[in-house]
Chain A
């Protein structure tokens, strides 16, 4: 059985929560399939590990930058940790870390590669990894099953132990669990000279609300319903979504002044939940759920009374 490889983004010194969710899914799959679970991360080191003479070299030396992450990855069930050392600064761009990541792929030749769907590098690395190894691609999948674990997405796509060929899967939420101890071998892979000079990162700044990942849009009338508003706020917390609305909701203090969205504001979130009938353009949402209204093109529509429906939905999500 081939390797199961999980890409790990770091959030400071610790693994990003979404990467840990992918690792939890990888653990379930690897145990079911009898595969080895590798957690791999790209680390910047302009000194000896990333220098030109060490191309492709493997060592088991201690790497200070990964010690904190190493313990977390061990506890999350990784069988081995691979640290790809690059002399390029690590930013979530294929141009910056693609070569180092390619070194990991060449070294392990995995059958299944997992990314946390909300990890910073997933959008740049996931599909390119799939294209490079000729793999099927699943987005926002999760592990299902107990003895025979498989990965499934919402569109009916799946990855099973009996499948031929490679797959790259973006893992949606899955609770990470502590199942191992703090000890795991770290394989250090030096992959220098990785930066693609065609892309130069000039600056970085906080993104505007219009570019947020997930949005909950509430209409002004529903915003005056305390039950609906409380549940919508809890839902936003669960999904890491921004709660937005019209000028009326902002005037009444129901949403933050900076969270006003009108119909002319272009939104392209991955997920949009429309509560009531907010007057915004929802056409750019990859996934659209309507609550308290129906309409064409939605992935889900709950047409009952808004407040109780939202409360029930939040409870169902918290229990899932």
Chain B
């Protein structure tokens, strides 16, 4: 099987621990291409972390800000160019990346597994364990598939500033058969201010969507 790892379009939100974990997991498959898209600083970081484990990397430089379907189109095009049939996705480093797992699978007509916490390649089969609520499901995966990884590397406080990578293969959108103007239809509108909430009321509002639903009885 030919394997690619999609690290997404932006650097991890808080730590590179999950990025390192995804790369280490991908390395179990042997020859893997690590793929990222976005600004040059992020591409350099992705290439640097991949090269530390001896993996090849490919980058798609772009300043587009896309939604999950837009980035999935980019990764699906890269996967076709690489001939990759198994796509691993680091879905833990940034929360908005998780839906890209399903979107890439849809575009490649592949099977999907989200929330994967352990992977073991075994010839043509991949053994994958995923979290489904309070359960751990263990699945056998055969053929074309996209796996969303939540696998951490070791704790890391600091890491060397990456330098521009000479080994990263640069892929532009046109070469992938993608028109930036068309992709722009999947552009994300500007989002709300991401400053932390600092009052009890605002934090309660933030948490309200996580409260476990409890049915009300008639007349309550």
Residues of chain A whose beta carbon lies under 8 Å from any beta carbon of chain B: 17-18, 20-21, 75, 91-95, 116-118, 120, 123-124, 126-128, 130-132, 134, 136-137, 139-142, 154-157, 172-178, 196-208, 211-214, 238-240, 263-264, 266, 268, 270-271, 273, 281-289, 297-303, 309, 312-313, 316-317, 320
Contact = CB atoms under 8 A, between A and B. Distances in A.
B132 A297 contact: no
Given A211-B117, A268-B152, A199 B211 contact: no
Given A199-B139, A239-B212, A284-B150, A289 B134 contact: no
Which of B103, B139, B145 has the most chain A CB atoms closer than 10 A to its own CB?
B139
B112 A240 contact: no
Given A130-B103, A282-B14, A317 B213 contact: no
A92 B99 contact: no
Interface of B: 12-15, 17-18, 21, 67-69, 72, 92, 95, 98-103, 105-107, 110-115, 117, 127, 131-145, 150-152, 154-155, 189-192, 194, 196-219
Given A134-B69, A197-B142, A199-B139, A316 B133 contact: no
Contact of A204 (B14, B107, B137, B152): B137
- Per CB-CB distance, the 5 closest pairs between chain A and chain B, nearest first, are A172-B209, A283-B15, A266-B152, A156-B192, A127-B99
Contact of A17 (B12, B155, B212): B212
Contact of B209 (A131, A142, A207): A142
Nearest to A130: B99
A142 B208 contact: yes
A263 B155 contact: yes
A20 B106 contact: no
Given A175-B214, A301-B196, A320-B204, A281 B17 contact: yes
A91 B100 CA distance: 22
Contact of A198 (B141, B190, B214): B141
